[in-house]
């Protein structure tokens, strides 16, 4: 099975100039905890991702306000995949890198979708119940990689 078969196409995104507040509103409105960050409205080349944890730890806990631009909070050079990649490879990457969402980019680095662990779990036959449980457990291990 290919990533294109399970990804969410055209996900919500923001730019490096988007404020933390606007990004939080996007997360609320789209019921997600991670937003891809693209170069500009015209050019959707992926430059990073920002998570709800980034907003809390790199933003709020560091004393930054709601108007802080996402460029100060994002994770640059996130792990990505392509629409023609095998789902199994993305599953392995999620476990190895402890990420719950992987942006999908085309050969030019343009954002075309996103794959979440829930997409893998929902896809019938993509993984056994036992495998989904292992993936969720492995991805959910505590992380200490954010600057505090």
pLDDT digit string (tens) for 25-77?
Answer: 999 999 999 999 999 999 999 999 999 999 999 999 999 999 999 999 999 99
Whether residue 147 lies inside any domain: the answer is no
Whether residue 60 lies inside any domain: the answer is yes
Look at residue 128 and tell me whether its pLDDT is greater than 90: no
Whether residue 81 lies inside any domain: the answer is yes
Whether residue 146 lies inside any domain: the answer is no
Whether residue 111 lies inside any domain: the answer is yes
More confidently predicted of 125 and 39 = 39
89: domain CATH number is 3.10.580.10
Whether residue 98 lies inside any domain: the answer is yes
Predicted local distance difference test score (pLDDT) of residue 124 = 54
pTM above 0.75, yes or no: yes
Look at residue 139 and tell me whether its pLDDT is greater than 80: no
The mean pLDDT of 11-26, rounded to a whole number, is 98
Whether residue 56 lies inside any domain: the answer is yes
Q: How many domains does the chain have?
A: 1
Strand positions, DSSP E, the chain: 8-9, 34-38, 46-51, 75-76, 101-105, 111-116
Angle, helix 129-139 to helix 87-97, in steps of 10 degrees: 40
Is residue 50 exposed (0-12), middle (13-18) or buried (19+ Cβ within 10 Å)? buried
28-34: long-range contacts at Cβ-Cβ below 8 A with a sequence spacing of 24 or more?
32/101, 32/116, 33/100, 33/101, 34/100, 34/101, 34/114
The mean pLDDT of 2-28, rounded to a whole number, is 96
Task: Please give the residue range of the domain that contains residue 43.
Answer: 3-139
More confidently predicted of 146 and 23 = 23
Total Cβ atoms within 10 A of residue 82: 16
Predicted local distance difference test score (pLDDT) of residue 120 = 86
Look at residue 111 and tell me whether its pLDDT is greater than 90: yes
Whether residue 132 lies inside any domain: the answer is yes
Predicted local distance difference test score (pLDDT) of residue 60 = 95
């Amino acid at each position: 099975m290919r990533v294109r078969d399970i990804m969410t196409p055209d996900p919500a995104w923001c730019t490096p100039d988007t404020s933390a507040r606007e990004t939080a509103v996007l997360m609320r409105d789209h019921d997600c905890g991670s937003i891809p960050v693209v170069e500009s409205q015209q050019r959707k080349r992926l430059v990073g991702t920002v998570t709800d944890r980034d907003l809390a730890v790199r933003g709020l806990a560091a004393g930054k306000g709601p108007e802080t631009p996402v460029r100060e909070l994002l994770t640059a050079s996130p792990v990505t995949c392509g629409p023609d990649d095998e789902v199994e490879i993305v599953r392995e990457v999620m476990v190895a890198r402890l990420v719950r969402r992987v942006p999908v980019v085309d050969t030019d680095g343009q954002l075309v979708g996103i794959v979440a662990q829930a997409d893998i779990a929902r896809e019938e036959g993509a993984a056994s119940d036992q495998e989904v449980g292992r993936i969720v457990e492995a991805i959910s291990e505590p992380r200490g990689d954010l600057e505090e």
